[in-house]
Amino acid sequence: MTTPTDPDDPSLLVHAYLDGELDPVHALEVERQLDASPALASERDRIEALRGAIRDRLPRETPSPELVRRVEAAIGLAPVPSRSVARAASQPSWRALAASVLLAAIVGSLATWFALHPGPGETTADLMVGNHLRALMAPQPFDVASSDRHTVKPWFNGRIPEAPRVVDLASEGFPLVGGRIDVIGRDPVPTLVYRHRQHLISLTAVPAQALAPLAGGAGAIAGFNTLTWTDNGVAYWAVSDTAAADLAAFEKAFREAGP
């Protein structure tokens, strides 16, 4: 358990090890020492914590536009100051300023209004598709991965007021792969994730009265098929890129499955 260098300060090599500066042979040696020495291991933890804090906490400096201009002027690049002076002189500035402030205010408030008041087109289905999309982009489309409904259902308990009905439909060709919590508006809602061949199906269950009265039925948004139905006071939303017919089969299987 000796290192070829620095027997007096093994931590020196730990720094180099963490910085990725050691060749494999030395790295192996350091790893062995770290395993053997708790003091060294906690020094490693401290160094890592420090590096992380420096990396994440220190604000990034940005050079001021003034500095960029100075630098460019110093080497004769792009005489920016004179150009902006020329442009400013060619226009009655206060009027332009007032007009642009007014325009910005109008555009800004309109944008806010539209964002906060989605038109009738912005439906719960859109939100469901959004959640499904988000899940597909995440490293994994579920928070709990299990094909066992006795694992998935208890997982929801304690996270949301009411755990959804969880059935395994593997025999019907829709194996359960997991579950996650989505957010609709500001409410957490349970979503089950099933698989059908290579397609994932997100099935979100919401107490029916929590949502606007359901039109029900099938739809398609942004290339995803949606299907919604109400059963026992619970509104179900299924979203998937699988065929609409498969979704319908999924609904049928889900409805008919035993508790």
- Tell me which residues touch another protein (CB under 8 A): 1, 7-12, 15-16, 19, 21, 33, 37, 39-40, 42-43, 45-55, 57-64, 66-68, 70-71, 74-77
Q: Rounded to an integer, what distance in angstroms lies between the CA atom of residue 108 and that of residue 126?
A: 24
Pick the closer one to another protein by CB: 73 or 218.
73
Supply the minimum distance, in Å, between the C-beta of residue 11 and another protein. Answer: 4
In eight-state DSSP terms, residue 165 is: P
Supply the minimum distance, in Å, between the C-beta of residue 143 and another protein. Answer: 25
Supply the minimum distance, in Å, between the C-beta of residue 51 and another protein. Answer: 6
Pick the closer one to another protein by CB: 47 or 234.
47
Q: Which two tokens stand for residue 249?
A: 């089969």
Supply the minimum distance, in Å, between the C-beta of residue 85 and another protein. Answer: 21
Pick the closer one to another protein by CB: 2 or 90.
2
Pick the closer one to another protein by CB: 60 or 197.
60
Supply the minimum distance, in Å, between the C-beta of residue 30 and another protein. Answer: 11
Pick the closer one to another protein by CB: 33 or 226.
33
Helix spans in the chain (H): 10-18, 24-36, 38-57, 65-74, 80-89, 93-116, 124-137, 149-156, 244-256
The secondary structure element, H or E, covering residue 157 is none
What share of residues in the chain are helix, strand, coil (percent, to 5)?
Answer: 50, 20, 30
SS3 78: coil
Q: Rounded to an integer, what distance in angstroms lies between the CA atom of residue 99 and that of residue 93?
A: 10
Q: Rounded to an integer, what distance in angstroms lies between the CA atom of residue 192 and that of residue 152?
A: 8
